[in-house]
Amino acid sequence: MNDLVSRLKPNARRGSKPRCHLLTHGSPTQISAQLSALGHPFANVSATDRWMPRGFEEVAEPELDKAPLLPEDVRTALGSWWLAPASAGAMTPNFDIASTCTIGGKPGLLLVEAKAHEAELMKESAGRRIGPDDSAERKASHKTIEIAITAAADGLARATGVPWRIGRDSHYQMSNRFAWAWKLADLGVPVVLVYLGFLNASEMADQGRPFADHQDWERVMKTHSQPLFPERIWDRQWMVNGVPMIPLIRSREVPR
């Protein structure tokens, strides 16, 4: 495994990053089984599905408006929803893993956001910030992102019957993950959003407390998400205009 991990950049060789590549390394049958297990019982990934990254050969993290995992019209709609016209083609949120799959008998998407220690999640309570030295593209999209996340919060409230407080200016990463999951469903793409905790990542102890077991990870996740939505949102299927959107908390121990 060390030989594989050494293919990554030095700052990407520990924590959640190499473990995501290890999960997507192997034969298509092996990888699809591992991804299906993360989305069980809602999502099924077959050996003929497509995922990113692809082990240690194709290491780019997917931007859903650009990655070849969705129809072109859906990718275009995602980009124009999130980015200002002046920022067309600029970077959008990167998911740790994304894979085509089947959800409820229809083509869908499995999205994975992974963490390996507590501080990695808690530092993301911050909002999206812009400064005087930021690019014109980043500044131009600051307002469109606020509008997009607000629309997602309203849509999720209608779908679940409870208030949502996702936003641009606090808990930005989790807010944008749920906003993109909602938008996919709004565009007719069923989606399973997995928050994956890698257990016992002891090499990260100098950065933050590693997760000891699933209960530990689940507690941290629900504490982090509590300001945004009630904990009963997790691990259930919700319908957005008749299309499933399913947020899951999962954990795995993946030796590095």
Q: Which pLDDT score, from 0 to 100, does residue 1 have?
A: 54
| Continuous segment of H or E residues that includes residue 103 | strand 97-103
**SS3 call for 42:** coil
Q: Which pLDDT score, from 0 to 100, does residue 31 have?
A: 98
What percent of the residues of the chain are helix, what percent strand, and what percent coil, each to the nearest 5? 40, 20, 40
Q: What is the pLDDT along the chain (256 residues), one digit of tens a residue?
A: 568 888 899 888 999 999 999 999 999 999 999 999 999 999 999 999 999 999 999 999 999 999 999 999 999 999 999 999 988 888 999 999 999 999 999 999 999 999 999 988 888 889 999 888 888 888 889 999 999 999 999 999 999 999 999 999 999 999 999 999 999 999 999 999 999 999 999 999 999 999 999 999 999 999 999 999 999 999 999 999 999 999 999 999 998 8
Single pTM value for the model: 0.96
* Whether the Cβ atoms of residue 246 and residue 237 lie closer than 8 Å to each other: yes
Phi and psi at residue 134, to the nearest 5°: -70, 155
Q: What does the chain come to in residues? A: 256
Domain ranges of the chain: 2-252
